[in-house]
Structure 1
């Protein structure tokens, strides 16, 4: 019943995202945009601007939320998010290098290079965490991810300083935005997201065991290394494809995981479906709010999620400190 209610709320938010914006469009024109399209300005806005934007918010919010759940279960850290794998900075560095070499700033170049950079960064962090004595542990993962984030961010900033044109072009993408996304690129990246979503649902029962600790999981007959490798693959596919489409949108993976557990409990077979719906709902609502915060001007949705997520992160850190 809870999932049905959540699905209805997501559907309403999706319809609301298509219906409202800076430009006021009558409801009749919105209906005609799908059933009797005549090429008018209002119908073009609905079909070519608002509908793609709502679709991107729907799938990106869902993907980031599931990636956050998997990341927190893998690291056994409630403050972890997909960004811990260096995915955001890996994608940003790949885009900057591609622009610096080719001199192009096409949307397809952004998406393809971002996806490649995110995947390479995530895989490298996983391999780095697996080196040395003992298996991959949460503390090794956190250290490797934080180190890689700093390294990639430093290299990216260094290249941007040398090339101001790249800085001007990439600035809006780095803020995380759903506007101006080409549907051709979206449809090319969507199968990668779908694989990640299916993988996240399939490994949900294993996350319950991984969450208990490595020794407990091994005692229950689980192949811990392979499960962790699958978790890394799911996070890279979901978060990497999300960054490729919309840029680095923060706090969705972190916050939604806690909201889903508060509703569904700690059974990831239920937490992940709830997180998927809640992530889509939160990003759709944040994108709607981004259209009206400043009059006659829209701000990137990544700014809105950061504004909402920062107090939540402070609250989680203080609660974790009181618990210890």
Structure 2
């Protein structure tokens, strides 16, 4: 891998548009001056923002007439792949002009364009959206799928587990990731038929650099007891939104409590360092950058509401997975898993 990777940026995506995206690009360049960028979108708007950041003034700019909005359906977005800033960034990866694409735009549209343009890797039925979540342990936890696939069968879940473990080893440096399936209980009899079948298949794994530790409930995901949590996209997205909402609730509740009286304000001054640490841990911008795993190319999704620091973090993720060749690692792990796996008998459908 070239030590100076070029990242394709959808400069029009996200709530802040070019101003936030270009500011994030500049921050990423400040952290790693070897990075190079191609910016897709309204050329006039992009160049107006570039004038503020001399460190990225030499970035390539590709004018695009269309912008994919949050209201666009995936089918509508696909038809504008060649004319939109989102589509242009992904096509740059397909054509080998960039090692990864970063967008803060419509998630469904991004998934649809990426899947159609890049196709899934050999041996992968469906790509999955994976993100890092903060925990009480020494490492973050990889969680997937977070919304790319609402319905998944057992084989999909197994593929997600293999991909998530590979990402955990690369992104977090975990030598032997602990993998668990998100379920309504930890007992073997709990859950849907798909979950039981996936668990049976994963238990057959006898080699490789990861291990399957059974089921996990949502309230234990961030306790530091697991490295990879696997779910269908429907349940995973609900769990993610619940966690993010709880984090905002706690932050807002503390702010209200500390401003309720003079005594509370004095208490805040004494506890400010601890509160700052808590705010940093709960701020989604500090864990920004979800990855579409299983495609023949790297695509990173930034939060639509991310600030410049959040965008820079998403770019950091893109550069890291490109340099460490995540796609090859997933391919190797999948081949290793299938060489050791034994196909189990299907379980009965239903939830117990």
TM-score, normalized by the shorter chain, greater than 0.5: no
Given the two structures, how large is their TM-score scaled by the length of structure 1? Answer: 0.29
Q: Which of 1 and 2 has higher RCO (CA within 8 Å, sep 6+)?
A: 1
Structure 1 or 2, whichever has the larger Rg, is 2
Higher strand share: 2
